[in-house]
């Protein structure tokens, strides 16, 4: 992976995702000095409670992403329910209601692909537990544009379908148990 500047971490998860994110965020010793963006297929139509539950474990502010806002380092942004979250060329958030991808909106693939286009090799993509293949194509895009790909070890995932699909389609720079991801992200984001 080598030393490089990282500006943003994008994280995708589905079934079991809230618990996985809580474990991941609890593992950060202090706020990450980068933008963190999360897409989780929560099944909820309102993400306020989801954000509240993440705030209890994250050492940084957690908020729902909003249209045309410019994300700031040291904060976690969560995709709103019912919208695809993506990046404009200028790095601002955009929301749309295009067709579902892998039965999902928000889609991990949509976020990851647009993040890869904007951030290139200054990006880390992370796939956690989940019950479908969303995120696999997006993770491949991240790798093709020079970004770093991390995948939760399917053996440690609550549901292994999503990590297995990501490994099959995209591979990974690192495939680690959930407990090993926070220390690795700390190291990558503080180089």
Catalytic positions: 14, 41, 134
Nearest to 170 by CA among 100, 119, 108, 77: 108
- Torsion over CA: 113, 154, 50, 62 (sign): negative
Rounded to 5 degrees, what are φ and ψ at 111?
Answer: -60, -50
How many C-beta atoms surround the C-beta of residue 45 within 10 A?
8
Q: Which residues contact 189 (CB under 8 A, 6 or more apart)?
A: 6, 9, 32, 33, 34, 124
**Which strand ranges, in their side-by-side order, compose the sheet holding 62-64?**
62-64, 76-78, 35-40, 8-13, 123-127, 148-152, 174-176
DSSP structure class, residue 91? S
Return left, alpha or beta for 134; rule: phi > 0 is left, psi -120 to 50 is alpha, else beta: beta
């Amino acid at each position: 992976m080598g030393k490089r500047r990282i500006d943003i971490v994008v994280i995708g998860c589905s079934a079991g995702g809230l618990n996985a994110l809580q474990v991941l965020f609890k593992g950060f010793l202090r706020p990450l000095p980068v933008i963190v963006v999360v897409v989780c297929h929560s099944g909820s139509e309102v993400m306020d409670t989801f954000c509240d539950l993440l705030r209890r474990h994250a050492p940084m502010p957690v908020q729902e992403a909003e249209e045309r806002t410019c994300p700031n380092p040291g904060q976690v942004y969560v995709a709103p329910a019912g919208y695809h979250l993506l990046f404009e060329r200028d790095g601002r958030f955009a929301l749309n209601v295009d067709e579902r991808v892998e039965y999902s909106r928000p889609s991990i693939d949509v976020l990851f692909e647009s993040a890869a286009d904007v951030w290139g090799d200054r990006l880390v993509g992370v796939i956690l537990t989940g019950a479908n293949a969303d995120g696999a194509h997006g993770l491949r895009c991240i790798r093709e544009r020079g970004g770093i790909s991390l995948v939760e070890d399917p053996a440690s995932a609550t549901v292994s379908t999503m990590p297995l699909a990501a490994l099959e389609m995209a591979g990974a720079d690192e495939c680690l148990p959930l407990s090993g991801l926070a220390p690795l992200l700390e190291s990558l984001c503080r180089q």
